[in-house]
Amino acid sequence: MISPKIQDAINAQINAEFWSAYLYLAMAMHFEAEGRGGIANWFKIQFKEEQAHAEIFMNYLNSRGGRVVLGTIDEVPQTWESPLAAFEATLAHEEKVTALINNIYALAEAEHDYATRGKLDWFVSEQVEEEETAKNLIDRLKLIGDNGLALYMLDQELAARVYNVPSPLANA
């Protein structure tokens, strides 16, 4: 059985993952409305990934005899000045998520809950990837600047992104 502290922390993380999904869906809809379908697609994939992260946490909590408690999702921003501003907001948000994951990891160590710590290893690696991807897109957008053709090409590239089921859900 999972400790009440770990259960509460994971439930808070489930809520954070759903908030993240909602944020990325808002970003997708913003850029869809602006005619930037590729950027919208990138954020739609992020939306699906965040939902999957919540599902992984819910499955884990249930498997350990815990109880999933779904909270309300706070409002998310609805507009961004530019693709660069959206990806800068993405990086800042992913850095916050990384801190949340690290806090649960530290709690799992303090509670001597090595199963939870082991489950979190995947999320730690995932967050490194999320931050790196956002940083890369920010760097590219800064390099693009006001070059409309280059922004169009990046939009086309991002349109090709496809959703892949995360490995912890592949056999679920």
Q: What is the mean pLDDT of each run of 10 residues along the chain (172 residues)?
A: 96 98 98 98 98 97 97 96 98 98 98 96 96 98 96 97 92 68
Q: How far apart are CA 132 and CA 128, in angstroms?
A: 6
pLDDT of residue 81: 97
Give pTM, 2 decimals.
0.95
pLDDT of residue 23: 98
- CATH at 133: 1.20.1260.10
Residue 119 lies in a domain: yes
Residue 90 lies in a domain: yes
Residue 171 lies in a domain: no
Residue 115 lies in a domain: yes
pLDDT of residue 151: 97
Residues 6+ apart with CB under 8 A from 113: 2, 3, 6, 107
pLDDT of residue 156: 97
